């Protein structure tokens, strides 16, 4: 071709070749044009389309970059470049491409795509910030920005009004639905949040951030099967999201599918060994299964990749029989001098308390336990007086209304066995003994009873669940009982006649349990207050049990527990069985026979060989119940007697 004016003629020829599917010849013709007129826009366009058509995205990207360099249809080609980079799984360059598109042509779509890419790169904060920044800077979305500002300032009602105002104009506004869902989630209205997230997903099914919101909502609301599906959908959209994969692994562990959970954790580590949180999760799974060596190694790996991992040190200590080396103790003490995350510091203090306890330096041990408890107590909103008032209200309600309460309805199931009381009172030992029986399955510490109590309370926003009990119909009582049975079935793997729910905090709900599950059996696991309270004080709990981080709080909680248990025994004489830890230790067979008699079950020798069971145990006592009964825990508090004057004043009769 000799003259530039012939470019159009040549292009028409190339276009004809393209339409006749003579693509190789079309490319040759277009290259001739571009060799003479390198910025010939129509030729560049057609080159891009041909290379996409013949599935050569790398070549297509080269011509897209040429279009962008000459500012030819920049917005279109930045969008196309981003899509092709995603297609070839080049997320690093895809992030740069979408950032440039968003910088030059910010829109709600570029915001969502950039948000998705930040999630893929495990930059969750940036993902949320880019959405927020867009709302703040774009007048069209000013009402959403108002809502965000209200949330930041704690004005949740005004935020709700802003989001609803948008939805009144546009019922399908994905961002308003998501933000309203997040607001509901923040206020623990998980069912409402779930509905809103699902509505948003139906409108924008590829919006990764909403799938992440929904998956977390399901998980925290204990809808584990749905959470599992949501995380799998999230991973379909974002296959390299190791955070989501780790969450999926944790759900498998919670559902006692340990093989699958461990497989997922190992898959994440195989890609990148420097994942201390995953090593921790792996250690917890191995501990539950009783794989002691693998558990220790996993915790040590967490420390290897994060030297100041207080949770890993505490997890080693929480094996109860682990012996820290002098070097490990020195490393922990050196770490405390440095600027540590408070959560890691607290757990490291508890670990040091256990380290010195193992060395029988009880004075130094108490110093670390006390400091760890004090720091944790400062983070918690717990009031012992309010707890006492709550217990008194429950007692007064049932005392005043017992004759008007319907105990004859409820769901007709005798499957549940509730073991309740205080933590660290021997309930895991009792569960291990009973689950060694051929007719009883040990499951978990289920939150379902407390959740039902909350739902009953929320019927009219009462202060307590008892405020609505008299308004429950026979149908309600049956429904709540059935709901409990149905929603705990996932934890039952062995198809046995009875199952154990070992949630200790169920004791304030015994009256409600009697109403919705009148045939359930209730066992009160009790320990003498000095050992029981101090054992709680030495334990760092992963969540809940806020009363355990101050000796006075623990003592008052114990007294409230005894008060209401005495009341329940008076109200329902003979319908509960109290078993004392000390009696089990001193006369195990006699106590086990008595316990099985209460359950109307025959004695089985396997119950005395409970420590041979291979069943998973998820509580702090998992290592202790895998050995025969021992007496070294009796009156253990006396090793710390000089530091336990608070408990001694509360329980002088037990401190003699």
Is the pLDDT at 536 greater than 70, yes or no? Answer: yes
pLDDT at 624 over 60: no
Task: Determine the 3-state secondary structure of 156 from DSSP.
Answer: helix
- Residue intervals in the chain for CATH 3.40.50.300: 387-625
Handedness of CA 237, 240, 246, 248 (dihedral sign): positive
Positions of CATH 1.25.40.10 in the chain: 4-134, 151-378
The answer, yes or no, to whether residue 615 has pLDDT greater than 60, is no
Look at 142-146, 160-164, 209-213, 541-545 and tell me which has the smallest mean pLDDT: 142-146
Q: Which pair of structure tokens corresponds to residue 131?
A: 């959405």
Residue 1: per-residue pLDDT: 43
pLDDT tier at 29, thresholds 50, 70, 90? confident
Model confidence at 108: pLDDT above 90:
no
Q: Quick one: pLDDT at residue 656?
A: 67
DSSP summary character for residue 417 = E
Kindly tell me if the per-residue pLDDT of 617 is higher than 60: no
pLDDT of 2 strictly over 50: no
CB burial of 112-143 (b: ≥16 within 10 Å; e: otherwise) equals bbbbbbbbbbeeeebbbebbbebbeeeeebeb
Percent of the chain residues past pLDDT 70, beyond the cut: 96
Q: What is the mean pLDDT of residues 601-615?
A: 81
Contact between 223 and 239 (Cβ < 8 Å): no
- Above pLDDT 90, what percent of the chain? 58
Q: Residue range 596-610: average pLDDT?
A: 92
Q: What is the pLDDT of residue 13?
A: 85
* Of residues 288, 330, 284, the one with CA closest to residue 307: 330
- What confidence score (pLDDT) does residue 500 get? 96
Examine the pLDDT at 462 and tell me if it is beyond 80.
no
How far is residue 100's CA from residue 82's CA, in Å, rounded to a whole number?
10
pLDDT at 513: 97
Q: Is the pLDDT of residue 55 over 90?
A: no
Q: At how many degrees (to 10) do helices 91-104 and 108-120 cross?
A: 150
Q: Let me know: does 325 contact 303? Beta carbons within 8 Å.
A: no
Whether 129 has a pLDDT exceeding 60, the answer reads yes
500 bridge partner residues: 417, 442
Q: What are phi and psi of 156, to 5 degrees?
A: -65, -35
Find the helix or strand (DSSP H, E) in which 418 lies.
strand 416-421
CA distance 104 to 75: 8
pLDDT in tens, 319-349: 988 999 999 999 999 999 988 999 999 999 9
What is the residue-wise DSSP string for 252-317?
A: HHHTT-HHHHHHHHHHHHHH-S--HHHHHHHHHHHHHHT-HHHHHHHHHHHHHH-TT-HHHHHHHH
**pLDDT for the residue numbered 121:** 78
> DSSP state, 501?
E
Burial of 21 (0-12, 13-18, 19+ CB in 10 A): exposed
Span 278-295, pLDDT tens digits: 999 999 999 988 899 999
DSSP at 426: S
122 versus 223: which is more confidently predicted?
Answer: 223
CA dist., res. 471 & res. 465, Å (int): 11
What's the average model confidence in pLDDT over 414-431? 94
CATH code for the part of the protein at 151-378: 1.25.40.10
Residue 511 near residue 394, CB atoms below 8 Å: yes
Q: Does the structure show a pLDDT above 70 at 618?
A: no
Please, which pLDDT band fits residue 111 given cuts at 50, 70 and 90?
A: confident
What top-level class would CATH report for the domain 387-625? Answer: alpha beta
Looking at residue 616, its pLDDT comes to 58
Alpha carbon distance 97, 258 (integer Å):
41
Tokens 């309203």 sit on residue:
180
Q: Is residue 142 predicted with pLDDT exceeding 80? A: no
Res. 622 pLDDT band, cuts 50 70 90: very low
Report pLDDT for 474. 94
Write the DSSP symbol of residue 140: G
The residues near 178 (Cβ < 8 Å, ≥ 6 apart) are 196, 197, 200, 207, 209, 210, 213
What is the predicted pLDDT for the residue at 267?
95
On the 0-12 / 13-18 / 19+ scale of CB atoms within 10 A, 35 is: exposed
- Please, which pLDDT band fits residue 629 given cuts at 50, 70 and 90? low
Q: Report the distance separating Cα 181 and Cα 196, nearest Å.
A: 5
SS3 state at 373: helix
Query: Sign of the CA dihedral 419, 424, 425, 427?
Result: positive
- What is the pLDDT at residue 592? 95
pLDDT digits (tens, 9 = 90+) for 68-99: 888 778 888 888 889 888 888 888 888 888 99
Mean pLDDT of 458-479: 87
Helices and strands in the chain: count of H runs, count of E runs: 32, 5
Q: How far is CA 427 from CA 220, 424, 445, 558, 590, in A?
A: 25, 7, 11, 15, 17
Calpha distance 517→477 (Å, rounded): 8
Look at the alpha carbons of 97, 101, 106, 107 in this order and tell me if their dihedral is positive or negative: negative
Q: Has residue 625 got a pLDDT over 70?
A: no
Contact in structure between 625 and 428 (CB atoms under 8 Å): yes
4-134: which CATH topology?
Answer: 1.25.40
Query: How confident is residue 630, by pLDDT bands cut at 50, 70 and 90?
Result: low
The CA-based angle 454-456-457, given to 5 degrees, is 60
Cβ contacts of 649 within 8 Å, gap of 6 or more: none
What's the whole-number mean pLDDT along residues 498-523? 96
Reported as a single tens digit per residue, the pLDDT across 341-395 is 999 999 999 999 999 999 999 999 999 999 999 999 999 999 999 999 999 999 9
- pLDDT, residue 461, reads 72
For the entire predicted model, the pTM comes to: 0.75
The pLDDT, as a whole number, for residue 621 is 46
Look at the alpha carbons of 239, 242, 247, 251 in this order and tell me if their dihedral is positive or negative: positive
If one compares 362 and 57, the residue with the highest pLDDT of the two is 362
| The 3-state secondary structure of 393-416, one letter per residue | HHHHHHHHHHHHCCCCCCCCCCCE
d(CA 600, CA 595): 9
Q: What is the mean pLDDT of the chain?
A: 90
Give the pLDDT confidence of 156-199 residue by residue, as tens digits: 898 899 899 889 988 999 989 999 999 999 998 999 999 999 99
Q: Which long-range contacts (CB under 8 A, 24 or more apart) does 343-346 make?
A: 343/310, 343/311, 344/308, 344/309, 344/310, 344/311, 345/310, 345/375, 346/310, 346/372, 346/375, 346/376, 346/540
Sheet holding 498-501, edge to edge: 440-444, 498-501, 416-421, 521-526, 576-580
**Tokens 């559902």 — which residue?**
255
- List pLDDT tens digits, range 446-461: 999 999 998 898 887 7
Residues paired with residue 420 on neighbouring β-strands, in sequence order: 524
The number of residues making up the chain comes to 656
| C-alpha–C-alpha distance, residues 241 and 123, integer Å | 10
**Residue 488 pLDDT more than 50?**
yes
Nearest alpha carbon to residue 230 among 247, 459, 284: 247
Distances (CA, A) of 259 to 254, 288, 465, 620: 12, 12, 39, 21
């Amino acid at each position: 071709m000799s003259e530039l004016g012939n470019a159009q003629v040549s292009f028409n020829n190339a276009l004809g070749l393209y339409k006749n599917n003579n693509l190789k010849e079309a490319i040759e013709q277009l290259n001739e044009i571009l060799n003479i007129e390198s910025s010939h826009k129509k030729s560049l366009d057609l080159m891009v389309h041909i290379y996409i058509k013949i599935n050569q995205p790398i070549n297509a990207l080269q011509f897209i970059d040429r279009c962008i360099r000459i500012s030819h249809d920049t917005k279109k080609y930045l969008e196309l470049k981003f899509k092709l980079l995603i297609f070839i799984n080049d997320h690093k360059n895809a992030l740069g491409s979408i950032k440039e598109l968003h910088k030059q042509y910010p829109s709600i779509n570029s915001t969502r795509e950039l948000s998705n890419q930040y999630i893929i790169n495990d930059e969750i904060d940036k993902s949320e910030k880019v959405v927020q920044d867009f709302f703040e800077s774009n007048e069209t979305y000013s009402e959403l920005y108002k809502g965000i500002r209200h949330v930041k300032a704690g004005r949740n009602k005004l935020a709700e009004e802003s989001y609803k105002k948008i939805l009144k104009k546009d019922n399908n506004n994905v961002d308003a639905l998501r933000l309203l869902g997040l607001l509901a989630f923040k206020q623990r209205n998980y069912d409402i949040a779930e509905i809103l997230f699902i509505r948003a997903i139906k409108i924008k099914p590829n919006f990764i951030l909403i799938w992440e919101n929904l998956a977390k909502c399901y998980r925290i609301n204990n809808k584990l099967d749905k959470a599992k599906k949501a995380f799998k959908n999230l991973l379909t959209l974002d296959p390299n999201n190791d955070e989501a994969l780790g969450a999926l692994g944790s759900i498998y562990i919670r559902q006692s599918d340990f093989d699958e959970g461990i497989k997922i954790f190992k898959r994440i580590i195989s890609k990148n060994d420097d994942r201390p949180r995953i090593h921790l999760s792996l250690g917890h799974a191995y501990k539950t299964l009783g794989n002691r060596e693998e558990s220790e190694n996993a915790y040590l790996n967490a420390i290897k990749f994060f030297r100041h991992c207080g949770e890993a040190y505490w997890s080693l200590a929480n094996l109860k029989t682990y012996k820290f080396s002098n070097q490990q103790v020195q490393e922990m003490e050196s770490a405390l001098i440095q600027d540590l995350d408070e959560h890691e510091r607290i757990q490291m203090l508890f670990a040091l308390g256990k380290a010195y306890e193992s060395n029988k330096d009880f004075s130094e041990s108490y110093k670390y336990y006390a400091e760890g408890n004090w720091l944790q107590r400062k983070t918690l909103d717990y009031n012992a007086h309010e707890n006492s008032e709550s217990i008194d209200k429950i007692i007064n309600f049932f005392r005043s209304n017992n004759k008007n309460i319907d105990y004859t309805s409820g769901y007709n199931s005798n499957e549940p066995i509730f073991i309740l009381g205080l933590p660290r009172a021997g309930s895991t030992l009792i569960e291990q003994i009973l689950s060694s029986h051929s007719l009883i399955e040990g499951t978990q510490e289920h939150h379902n009873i407390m959740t039902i109590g909350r739902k009953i309370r929320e019927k009219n926003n009462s202060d307590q669940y008892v405020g609505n009990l008299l308004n429950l119909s026979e149908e309600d009582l049956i429904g709540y009982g059935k709901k409990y049975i149905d929603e705990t079935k996932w934890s039952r793997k062995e198809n046995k006649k009875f199952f154990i729910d070992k949630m200790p905090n169920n004791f304030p709900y015994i009256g409600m349990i009697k109403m919705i599950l009148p045939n359930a059996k209730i066992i009160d696991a009790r320990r003498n207050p000095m050992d029981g309270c101090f054992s709680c004080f030495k334990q760092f709990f992963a969540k809940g049990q806020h009363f355990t981080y101050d000796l006075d709080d623990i003592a008052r909680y114990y007294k409230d527990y005894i008060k209401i248990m005495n009341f329940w025994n008076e109200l329902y004489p003979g319908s509960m069985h109290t078993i004392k830890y000390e009696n089990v230790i001193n006369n195990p067979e006699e106590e086990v026979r008595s316990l099985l008699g209460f359950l109307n079950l025959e004695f089985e020798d396997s119950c005395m060989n409970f420590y041979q069971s291979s069943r998973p145990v998820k509580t702090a006592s998992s290592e202790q119940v895998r050995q025969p009964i021992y007496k070294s825990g009796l009156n253990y508090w006396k090793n710390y007697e000089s530091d336990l004057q608070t408990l001694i004043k509360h329980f002088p009769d037990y401190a003699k």
